[in-house]
Structure 1
Amino acid sequence: MKRAFHAALAACILAPSAQAESVAPGDVSYDEAGAVAASLTGQPGNAEEGAKVFSTKSVGNCVSCHEVTALADVPFQGNVGPSLDGVADRWTEHEIRGIVADAKKTYDGTVMPSFYKVSGFIRPGKAYTGKAIPAEEITPLLSAQQIEDVVAFLVTLKDE
């Protein structure tokens, strides 16, 4: 019994944390082209969850601007942004992460939202317009994990 307890204790001490600390939106390190080399969570994303975030109108809503053939069952795909078929052949994972987190770092003037940003912009909507919102109450449009999940999904989109 004592041996089992010590083994369990050692496993807990030596095992990596189940949930890594996420990088705060203001602490993301972008390179000069807007790419983000490090995962925002320290863990890989889940491509299946990323497809859900991408295609769910109440979450990422990426599909309202971008068309993706792999999500052909999702209606009303947009054409404001480029088709993302083959996106993993055009950009690296680091570039994709930077674009999803804050596309304006890569494409100045883009209409694509900054999904992982909490300052330096005017957020539209009745909850925000004309109101001073305390900084600690402002949250990014997507969480760090959702960003990593979307990146994991997008890096699966390669030309055949």
Structure 2
Amino acid sequence: MNADEGMRAVAIAAVLGSGCATLSLEQAPLGPPGDAARGREVFVSREGGHCVLCHRVPGVRVAGDVGPALEGIGTRLSPGEIRYRVVDITRLNPEAVMPAFHRTEGLARVAPAYAGRPVLDARQVEDVVAYLGSLR
């Protein structure tokens, strides 16, 4: 069992033992607060995260439906919870199709252009977090 699996097991046990119905896993900021306008550009850009390939958001006509619609996500999740998912969703859901956008270790089938570097840098992650947090 690796560290993330251990953390997940402890968190799940704590939730089950407490009778709580929700699990809050957060990631600390990777840098200064992001900019929502830049985050939107990263979200829709093929050169950025290209998140619209799988997710729907208000105001974007061409969007996918593989992942959940993200309208109102800023009211449901804290910035730390959003960041946790953007950085590496597989820590929360090992079966997720969404890539780890800010992890370089332990990945399989990485495109040569991204070998050894994250898909999104720290500023881009914070910008996407700011954008998604603005969706209320």
TM-score interval w.r.t. the shorter chain? 0.7 to 0.9
Looking at CA atoms only, which structure, 1 or 2, has the larger radius of gyration? 1
Whole-angstrom CA distance in 2 between matches of 1:50 and 1:65: 16
Q: Which of 40, 50, 62 lines up with 1:51 in the alignment?
A: 40
Give the superposed CA RMSD: 2.1
Q: Which runs of 4+ in 1 moved over 6 A?
A: none
Structure 2 unpaired stretches of 5+: 1-6, 12-23
- Normalised TM-score (structure 2): 0.77
- Normalised TM-score (structure 1): 0.66
Identical pairs, percent: 37
The 3-state SS of whatever aligns with 2:134 is coil
Question: How far did residue 57 of structure 1 move?
Answer: 1.4
Where does 1:6-155 land on structure 2 (aligned, <5 Å)?
Answer: 32=11, 34-36=25-27, 38-41=28-31, 43-69=32-58, 71-72=59-60, 75-125=61-111, 127=112, 138-155=116-133
Supply the AA of the counterpart residue of 2:133.
Answer: V
Partner of 1:9: none
1:38-62 deviations in Å (ceiling 9; x for gaps): 2101x10010000000000121100
Question: How far did residue 34 of structure 1 move?
Answer: 4.2
1:7-56 deviations in Å (ceiling 9; x for gaps): xxxxxxxxxxxxxxxxxxxxxxx8855420x2101x10010000000000
Whole-angstrom CA distance in 1 between matches of 2:91 and 2:97: 12
Structure 1 unpaired stretches of 5+: 1-29
**Count of paired positions:** 116
